[in-house]
Amino acid sequence: DAGVTQSPTHLIKTRGQQVTLRCSPKSGHDTVSWYQQALGQGPQFIFQYYEEEERQRGNFPDRFSGHQFPNYSSELNVNALLLGDSALYLCASSWGTGAGNTIYFGEGSWLTVV
């Protein structure tokens, strides 16, 4: 049973570029959330997707956008990259959107913006 898988694991981009990160949820899960974790800090919620729609969004600018596909996989897109976007981006999945549902995380994608 595969867990949450993310790609790429590491990438380097320059300021102003665009990046796409990908996530496949744990088998049987239909809900995907994205988090940003800066070095030495806790994760910050970006947004959640369920039934191919963005259901909730954290305090992130519109440069951050996402998509969920019919097979429940998801993409996170960040446009006009800033140095401050350098972080570990974590994808998490769960079954349904219930608040008590356990959320499982992938290993993350390390983004460095230079």
Partner 1 sequence: AQSVAQPEDQVNVAEGNPLTVKCTYSVSGNPYLFWYVQYPNRGLQFLLKYITGDNLVKGSYGFEAEFNKSQTSFHLKKPSALVSDSALYFCAVIRNSNYQLIWGAGTKLIIKP
Residues found near partner 1 in the complex (CB under 8 A): 4, 33, 41-45, 48, 55-56, 58, 90, 92, 97, 99-100, 102-108
As measured in angstroms, the least distance from the Cβ of 31 to partner 1 is: 9
Tokens of 5: 């898988």
- Of 16 and 112, CB closest to partner 1: 112
Q: What count of other Cβ atoms lies within 10 Å of the Cβ of residue 64? A: 18
Distance between CA atoms of residues 14 and 92, nearest Å = 26
Please say which residue, 109 or 113, places its beta carbon nearer to partner 1. Answer: 109
Strand, coil or helix: what is 39?
Answer: coil
**CB closer to partner 1, 15 vs 56:** 56
Beta-carbon-side half-sphere exposure of residue 78 (alpha carbons within 13 Å): 27
Q: How far is the CB of 46 from partner 1 (least distance, A)?
A: 10
CB of 11 to partner 1, least distance (A): 15
Longest dimension (CA), the chain: 39
State the minimum distance, in angstroms, from the CB of residue 2 to partner 1. 14
d(CA 97, CA 3): 18
Give whichever of 2 and 99 is closer to partner 1, judged by the CB atom: 99
